[in-house]
Amino acid sequence: MQIISSALVTSCGIGKCALIDSIYSGKLTHRAFSSRPTTKKPLMFPSFYEGAQYCPLPSSFYQKANSARDVFFNLFDEIFSQLKSNTPGEFDYSKMGMIFCSTKGATEDYLGIAAQKFADPIHSVLDSYLTAREMNFAKSICISNACSSSHVGIFLANKWLLRDEAEEVVVISSDLIGSFVASGFNSLKALGTTPIRPFDGKRDGLLLGEACAAVVFGKNRGPLNTSIGIKISKVGFITDPGATIRPNAEGESLYQLIKNHGMDIGVDAIIAHGTSTPANDLSEAKAYERLFPENNIPITASKWCIGHTMGASGLIDLILAMDSIESGRLFPISTLKERDPNINSLVINETLSAEFNNILVSSLGFGGIAAAFNVISEN
């Protein structure tokens, strides 16, 4: 499945370059809750989050926004503007598919509303946006598979292309931070009090982040502004009913997924889920140590820079993997100071320069899902 173009908004700013510059320079983008650029009720945090840290979108996306749906509209307008600039030729929506991936969509818009007035908080965003912008895609759907939503969206896009149900597919992923999701992570004691430090011995939890990412997938149209063809070679996911709110300590489901799909073959580097929670990082590391017992595959993660962006995290890591293949460098975990003594994997905290042709991107999500895909160079 060929990658044609991409678009991105993160706490680093607008566009891929803003993220690349931040993640290689060691820039942290977290801010105190009090700096949130809106006071609109649906987007407010619960009182326990006052003074905590998170990684917000640029404030411009909250201007004139009265709801979470309004913020999504602002984000989607920016994303489609980038895609049209980054994609060769024109979009023919009548031959394209559209997949919106989100952990919880605009759930905050419906908190406190009577049940009979409640609408699907994800489909309502996509459907109203496509109607308002008169985008008549051949087919569209929403996916919510927790923090692995992007991975499952990529999986479905591949199915649509293989079945000729669409000539190209836009996968767009986004999540905002509000009371619903903050309360959920807090109830699981997953929120940290310090900067995110994936795989560090002193890590104490995650920081939440906001983002919107999109990738256009296809089979026939060439990529723009690069001589390197990049594609998804394998993608899959698995569920573990015994690990609904925390992963298996030995990383069993992630190990089985990668091994059974042959995703470990020829891997040059890994972009891990790396949430900085004690359970997640150890589980991932155990899976990688079983897959690569020589511990010679470099591993990194992006959440230390932009926070845990939930449903958007997979597409963001895909965009970063594409950049590593094109540029010949792998970004570090700049906040990693002392690796957890229980982790033997080759986790990097300095930029690594090398030729990368096959990067594994993994994810673990609530509900027991584990997902992964390979990003490869076609050359």
Instruction: Please state, in angstroms and rounded to a whole number, the distance separating the CA atoms of residues 203 and 308.
Output: 14
Q: Which stretches does DSSP call E strand in 110-229? A: 139-143, 168-175, 211-218
Bridge-partner residues for 269, per DSSP?
359
- What SS3 class is residue 171? strand
Bridge-partner residues for 372, per DSSP?
236, 362
In the block, residue with structure tokens 């908004």: 9
Position 145 scores a pLDDT of 93
- What SS3 class is residue 299? strand
Position 273 scores a pLDDT of 97
**Exposed, middle or buried by CB within 10 Å (0-12, 13-18, 19+), for 136?**
exposed
- Mean pLDDT, 10 residues at a time, the chain of 379 residues: 96 98 95 57 56 86 89 97 91 96 91 64 95 97 96 98 97 91 83 89 93 93 62 94 76 95 97 95 96 97 97 98 97 97 96 98 90 93
Instruction: Please state, in angstroms and rounded to a whole number, the distance separating the CA atoms of residues 368 and 238.
Output: 8
Position 110 scores a pLDDT of 82
Instruction: Please state, in angstroms and rounded to a whole number, the distance separating the CA atoms of residues 250 and 264.
Output: 17
Q: Are strands 369-377 and 230-239 parallel, antiparallel or unpaired?
A: antiparallel
The answer to whether 127 touches 137, Cβ cutoff 8 Å, is no
Position 41 scores a pLDDT of 47
The answer to whether 102 touches 72, Cβ cutoff 8 Å, is no
Position 222 scores a pLDDT of 59
CB contact set of 351 (below 8 Å; sequence gap of 6+): 24, 329, 330, 331, 332
Domains annotated for the chain, with CATH where assigned, are 2-218 (3.40.47.10), 230-377 (3.40.47.10)
Position 43 scores a pLDDT of 55
